[in-house]
Amino acid sequence: MDSKRKMDSPESNVLTRSSPFPDEVLERVLGLVKSHKDRSSVSLVCKDWYNAERWSRTHVFIGNCYSVSPEIVARRFPNIRSVTLKGKPRFSDFNLVPLNWGADIHAWLVVFASKYPLLEELRLKRMTVTDESLEFLATTFTNFKALSLLSCDGFSTDGLAAIATHCKNMTELDIQENGIDDLGGGWLSCFPENFTSLEVLNFANLSSDVSFDALEKLVSRCRSLKFLKVNKNITLEQLQRLLECAPQLTELGTGSFHQELTTRQYAELESAFNNCKNLNTLSGLWEATPLYLPVLYPACTNLTFLNLSDAALQSGELAKLLAYCPNLQRLWVLDTVEDKGLEAVGSSCPLLEELRVFPADPYEQDVVHGVTEMGFVAVSYGCPRLHYVLYFCRQMTNAAVATIVKNCPDFTHFRLCVMNPGEPDYLTNEPMDEAFGAVVKNCTKLQRLAVSGLLTDLTFEYIGKYAKNLETLSVAFAGSSDWGMQCVLSGCSKLRKLEIRDCPFGNEALLSGLEKYESMRSLWMSACNVTMNACRRLAKQMPRLNVEVMKDEESDDSQADKVYVYRSVAGPRRDAPPFVLTL
């Protein structure tokens, strides 16, 4: 590596070098810089630092797989061992992007096979991954250790079988929320009998049965296993046996938490949880009932993250459980806990930093339960450290939000979803402009914001004026005119991702951001008032942006139904399917 480097950068010979440090020292020091943002800054200091940084970097994070090509990445960073890649636009999570849109990992793997044969880790989000790719990955990279697939699609359990069969040094297999073809649980049995290196195993979202015998043996022999998240088919009785094998777990995702147990089995389960003193994260708990929740209590003392989004708990059950979780920092619940449950959160979890409340019945209009503004307010009084919220509700008021941000001024992520589009403040019947005005005025550290409810351009004036640290903004069914979007584009200097759907923003707004989009990762606009001509103009004037349009079946020729604009050094996509028009 030393000789290669010297040949590569003739300008860093002694006579012209500006830094008094030998390259090796610089590289050693910079090698300790982990954050990719810091590394980016480091690389801009001077040529020496740029080179030292690129040689010492082992992990690369690519937020948009189409912003760069694998060849360009490999040319700049010769020593990568770990890659994180994100693919499709976020709204693909909500069925707004058709299948076969792209973001296929295969082309990347082919380049990595020749440039990074020692690749160890691959973390993918919203990418398409086929079984062939997984097989290729498993058989090509002999040092491969960690695979994390979040919201990916295109593969089946056969691909997982290939990974289990061939990756002898696997430490992490994390399969979350994917559009996977579940052909059966046989993949788990493919881990060889002498395989013992696993530290992380998450198959919580797979629906078919794995062989419990194989699982139990796997867990027993992997003494370093720290994270285990099983699927719904694992029973309480089986869970108890797994916990007996692995009391050292720090993160646990249980299976189904509902089974008829004998008194003795209950006692054994309780004892198993009692031995798990290292748990900091707990999830799963499908169909949890008040009968069995108490077995968890002894394991909750050190819990910092409790994910109850699969367990439809009532307020009383939650309150009792939270009494045992004094150190909780992150909590995810379903709105079945109602405001009363959230009051319990406020009173039991003073250290809470993150709260996510999901709707149990998102499609029901006439629901009388769920959470309201009162629950959110109650949490804000009890949890002053709260800085991340995702809250689904059916009613909200401007006054409540003002109170919430007064109690918790440190919000970095404020995602409020009033589920009925265009819903006003239910007490005053006014738009919710003042609510989000209060958020951006009070919360100076705000990085991510999602707005909802009846909103006029005033909301966006506030955002543009006050949200100076805002990086991600999600807007749906809001705004009155182009002016709103223009305020955001001109005011939010740190904006990186803007995603908009069903808003009355049109060409003037789109084109007002001409200069801005190169400093952003991407812009998504769907079901707005943007025309094809405006998109063509944008594409023509900004050649370093990729402007892609997807048209809906029966819309008129001039309308640009879905627009996705992103900066790229790789030029237009070469793998775009026919329904993606690159302008």
Partner 1 sequence: MFWVSLFTMGRATNSSSSSIDSSSHPTVSSASSFPRLKRDLSTDLSLGLSISTSDHHYCPSTPREQQSDWPPIKTLLRKALAGEGNKCNDATFFVKVYMEGIPIGRKLDLFAHDGYHALIRTLDDMFSTTILWAEVDGVLHSEKCHVLTYEDKEGDWMMVGDVPWELFLTTVKRLKITRVDKY
Radius of gyration over every alpha carbon of the chain, rounded to an integer in angstroms: 26
Report the run of H or E that residue 437 belongs to, with start and end. Answer: helix 433-442
Q: Of 193-252, which residues contact partner 1 (CB under 8 A)? A: 205, 232
Alpha carbon of 505 to those of 50, 435, 510, 512: distances in Å?
Answer: 41, 21, 8, 11
Number of residues that bind partner 1 (CB under 8 A): 63
For the window 46-85, what string marks contact with partner 1 as x by the rule CB under 8 A? ----------------------------------------
Q: What is the DSSP letter of 185?
A: B
CA distance 352 to 376: 13
Residue 237: partners with Cβ closer than 8 Å, 6 or more residues away: 259, 261, 265, 269
* Smallest gap from residue 254 Cβ to partner 1 (A): 14
- From 515, 461, 526, select the one nearest 487 (Cα to Cα): 461
Does the footprint of partner 1 cover residue 553 (CB under 8 A)?
A: yes
Between 193 and 553, CB nearer to partner 1: 553
- Of residues 94 and 262, the one with the C-beta less far from partner 1: 94
- Binding to partner 1 (CB under 8 A): which residues in 421-450? 421-424, 429
364 vs 575 by CB, closer to partner 1: 364
Residues 6 or more apart whose Cβ sits within 8 Å of residue 219: 225, 228, 242, 245, 246
Distance of CA 490 to the CA centre of its chain: 27
DSSP class per residue in 30-72? HTT---HHHHHHHHTS-HHHHHHHHHH--EEEESSTTSS-HHH
- Using H for helix, E for strand and C for coil, what is the string for 389-429? EEEEECCCCHHHHHHHHHHCCCCCEEEEEECCCCCCCCCCC
| Residue numbers 78-117 binding partner 1 by CB under 8 A | 91, 93-96
Contacting residue, 108, 391, 466, 505, with partner 1 by CB under 8 A = 505
d(CA 533, CA 560): 9
For partner 1, give the closer residue by CB, 220 or 309. Answer: 309
Name which of 22 and 421 has its Cβ closer to partner 1. Answer: 421
Considering only 79-87, 434-442, 480-488, 535-543, which stretch makes contact with partner 1 by CB under 8 A?
Answer: 480-488
Q: Is residue 340 near partner 1 by the rule CB under 8 A?
A: no
Q: How far is the CB of 355 from partner 1 (least distance, A)?
A: 16
Q: At 518, is the secondary structure helix, strand, or coil?
A: helix
Considering the rule CB under 8 A, would residue 559 count as an interface residue with partner 1? yes
How many angstroms separate the CA atoms of 119 and 412, rounded? Answer: 34
**Chain residues 251-270 in contact with partner 1, contact rule CB under 8 A:** 258
Task: Please report whether residue 480 would count as binding partner 1 according to CB under 8 A.
Answer: yes
Q: Provide the minimum distance between the beta carbon of 502 and partner 1 in the complex, in angstroms, as a whole number.
A: 5
Label each residue of 270-334 as H, E or C. Answer: HHHHHCCCCCCEEECCECCCCCCHHHHHHHCCCCCEEECCCCCCCHHHHHHHHCCCCCCCEEEEE
Q: Tell the smallest beta-carbon distance from residue 71 to partner 1 (Å).
A: 33
- Footprint of partner 1 on residues 301-330 (CB under 8 A)? 309-310, 312
Q: By CB under 8 A, what part of segment 134-193 binds partner 1?
A: 151, 177-179
**Binding test (CB under 8 A) with partner 1, winner from 322, 454, 463, 525:** 454
Residues at the interface with partner 1 (CB under 8 A): 91, 93-96, 151, 177-179, 205, 232, 258, 286-287, 309-310, 312, 334, 358-366, 392, 417, 419-424, 429, 454, 456, 474, 476-482, 502-506, 526-529, 552-556, 559, 561-562
